[in-house]
Structures are given as structure tokens and as C-alpha cells.
Amino acid sequence: MTWNRASVGPGKLSGDIATVLDRVEEQFANALGRFRSRWEKRWPKEDYEPAFWYREQQTKTYVTFALDRVCSGLVMQEPPVERTGKSAKASASSAGRADYWADFRDLHFHIEVKQAWVRYHENDKPLGLGDLFRKHRAAVKQVKSTLKPNVWKVNYGLALTVAPVWQKIGDNAATFADDNLIKTLRNGVKKKYRVRRFAWWRFSPGYIECKWKDPKKGPKHERYHGIVLCWSVIRAPKS
């Protein structure tokens, strides 16, 4: 498992916030890697099913594990919150739930997590980043709606989008290149919205190959190269 991290916002993240992101990324990767290792030992003759296949709610299993490790148990899933925004009246707020509340060295976070898919196309088509952009904008909007002045034990919001990078295997499958992915991501996220950092986790020994049968469309052959973690950091407003 190899990481390639890139700060894309104004200046570099530093201090405890950078430490939180570093450690969450590493623990998340460790948890997914452990799942794969245990699967292959337990069922060596069966095709491996990546945990992220089952989308956001399943992927949060590994986010929960990572936050628990990094924050020494000071983490809650689905804490109640009051949201503000266009959906609420100007003088009112609506009840809801954040994905997580967590504490790290007296930094208190609300965290919203989304899962997207990044498609690495065949031939010379551009990298498919549309789903990543849509999901991350939604995560930023949701976490901002929970940040109000003087909320108890909340001084930052984190928006995290987890995006596996996949490729459909056919007769003219393109060769995957990490440098191309990183360059395209860096340029794309700058143009679309304020992203403070993304991290690229490359699967080892290179990719996960999956063959399965779609009940409606027949046999599928896909290759998963790694996972992008896309972060935004929002400071809670002061009174």
C-alpha cells in the first residue's frame, strides 16, 4: 500500500489538523488492507469482494475504525445536530444528524462522509471526475450546515469523499498511470471547489481485478487501482 498526498488549497495544512488527516488515511487503508488479507486467507478459492463495492454505508465501517483509533475512542456516529441552510426557514433550523463527531487533542469535529467513483476510461478519454465533484460538494454543504457559533465541542467541520478508481477491462484497455491521475485530480479540484487536500492510495501489488456477473447486463470485468480520499476543512464561525 502506497500513499501520495497533495495539498491543493491555499498554503499547506499543518499541526494537529494535518496529523488527523494523515492518521485517518493510514488507519483507513490498514483496515481495508486487513479485510482483503483476511478474505484471501479464509476463502482463497473465491473471488475477492472489495468492501467498498457496497457503497457509502459499508465504507463508513472503515472510517469508523480509523476515527476510533486516531481519536482514542472519542468518536460518535450519527450525533444529533441542528442544520441551517436553504432548506430551513431564515429564522429556524432543522433537526438532523451528522455522520460523526470526533475529538483529537481538543480539536472537535463534525464530519460528513460520501462515497464516489472515479472511472479511468479506455483510450484517451478524460478521467471521470464528475461523481467525485458532485458527492464532495454535497459533503461540504452538509457539514457547513452543522457549523454554527458556540456549538458545544465543535470547532471544525471535515468533509471527506472516498472514491475508488476503477477501469472497465476491454480489448483496448488503457495503461494506468499514477502521474496522470494525480495531475488530473490536482487540476480538477482547483477548478471546481475549495479542496484542502486529496490523498491517493495505490493498491499493492498494483490493482485488484474483479470478475462478476450482472443479472441484467451479463459478465463484468473490472480493475480497481486504488482509492482517492478528498478532504475539505471548514472552521466553525465565531460568535
Per the CB < 8 A criterion, the answer to whether 228 and 132 are in contact is: yes
User: Quick one: which of 106, 110, 57 has its CA closest to 82?
Assistant: 110
At residue 90, the pLDDT reads 46
**CA–CA gap between residue 27 and residue 187 (Å, rounded):** 27
Taking only the tens place, the pLDDT of each residue in 37-55 is 888 888 877 777 777 877 8
Round the average pLDDT of the chain to a whole number and report it: 80
Q: What is the pLDDT of residue 87?
A: 46
Instruction: Report CA dihedral (79, 85, 86, 87) to the nearest 10 degrees.
Output: 20
Contact by Cβ (8 Å): 210, 50? yes
Residues of the chain short of pLDDT 50, as ranges, are 87-91, 171
Core vs surface per residue 173-212: b (16+ CB within 10 A) or e: eeebeeeebbeebeebbeeeeebbbbbbbbbeeebbebee
Q: Which three cell numbers stand for residue 181?
A: 491521475
State the pLDDT at residue 88: 45
Which domain, by its residues, includes 28?
2-235
Q: pLDDT digits over 76-122, tens only? A: 999 988 887 654 444 456 678 899 999 999 899 999 999 999 887 75
Q: How many domains does the chain have?
A: 1
